[in-house]
Structure 1
Amino acid sequence: MIITSWRLLFPINGVNLCTSFYYRRLATTQESISKLKRNIEKNILPPKPKKPLNVFMQYFLSMKDKLHKEYPNCTQQDLVKKVAKQWAHVEPTVKQNLQKQYMEQHSVYKQKLMDYKNSITDDQQMLIKKELVKKEHALEKSQVKQKLAELGKPKRPLTAFILFVQDNKMSKDSHVSQQDWLSNLGKEWKNLTMEAKSKYITDAAQLSEKYKVEIKKWEENMIREGHQDLLKSTLKSKHDVDIDKHKK
């Protein structure tokens, strides 16, 4: 699903979009989805068994305390570099013992991981899938919104009430919270006479008409440039298809 989405957002043959850019953004998105999945699993499932440390890291930990005493002012990164130099001269028998220890730990890890996967219930898997679909659509929506802004999509016009709020923003008391201030303005707006509201209603109507002209012109331009898949009607139908697939 996510690959299809990015083909829609960044068509390989699209205007001014090169192939390398497409694949770079696609890789970033796949990483984002993988991260989303891991975060969802953390919230739903018990912790996964941890992989054993590799042979070098086990050796590093065995030397760490000694090195800290010898080089108290060294950073962790510097200590790793020092151990890396020593590692090349470590006796083969020491490396073999560490390798044997690692293989034993890895064997235990594999069994724990298998038991862990077998313990995941169908309900948990279904819940993960549902949450992932929701997060994917939220991510896609955010990416589409960003892309539309880059392509110069006209902003929606302000409503009459928002124009009224803008007219009164200079009178806001700094001691009153934003929420309370807006709530009070809402009550004030509700009690305004139609005559007092008419200016804002007229201005909002004019902005709306201007927006209709601009959005139509922009959509026509998007179609000419090969970005018709970004238009709202197309995205909506795609979203519905994805939801239907998930339900099945």
Structure 2
Amino acid sequence: MAPFSLITASVSLLAKSFGVWSCTSSLARCTGVLPPAFVGPLRCLTSQTSGPPKRPLNGYMRYVQQQQPILTRQNPDIKTIDIIRRIAQQWRVMTPEQKQPFEEASQRAREQFKLELQGYQAQLTPAQVEQQALEKKQRMAKRKAIRKKRELTTLGKPKRPRSSFNIFMSEHFEEARGTTTQAKMKSVLDDWRNLFTHQKQVYKQLAEDDKIRYKNEIKSWEEHMVEIGREDLIREQTLSTKKKLAAQTRATKKGTNKAKAVKASAKGKSKTSRKAA
């Protein structure tokens, strides 16, 4: 029977051989999928199949990453937002020479990111490419909606009218039963359903009043948007109503002019017939 040390050495040698073979085969698979330019001696891009490579940080964010831990240790009682503000102030007064190391590191990272992104995209199937394009389109639409909402808030667009239940919930949410938001909302909903008709009528009347408030405010706001040249922010239904009114006005003017022309023509014929007689 072989000594225990000899068996252990054999197992160790076998494990090392298997590890080398596994690494070599993985590298071979990488070289079979990617162009030679994307294959490095210490890196295999197939590890990115779960998602695209992350975009690199710019020079400023690299400086923030370096300085934030330092300032946090030196000032443990200062809030994170104040730390970031202090770092931003330091960055603004730095010379181009002081910023250069961070900018150069960012540039190198961008070049590496381009290579990794090309390698990642080379592995995608047509279905994955289509899915990523769809997700990007959805993200862009979401960002556009957020920017538009912020713009409308800045321009003072009136808030939409609340429903009777929303008014009831705003009044009773804080005192509702439950420790989580979801539990509180369920509690308020149960209380709303248990109200009598005459009790709900109070909130329905408040909701009707809020509709009138919104109708008056949105009308004034849209008139102001027209004055400042922002008709693109007006509701479609308002534009449709204006177009209909304009069309009716044009039709009325056209009918009036036609009637006047007919009347003038008849009057001219009458004068001609009298002269002939």
Bigger radius of gyration among the two: 2
TM-score (norm 1): 0.47
Q: Which has the higher contact order (CA 8 A, sep 6+)?
A: 1
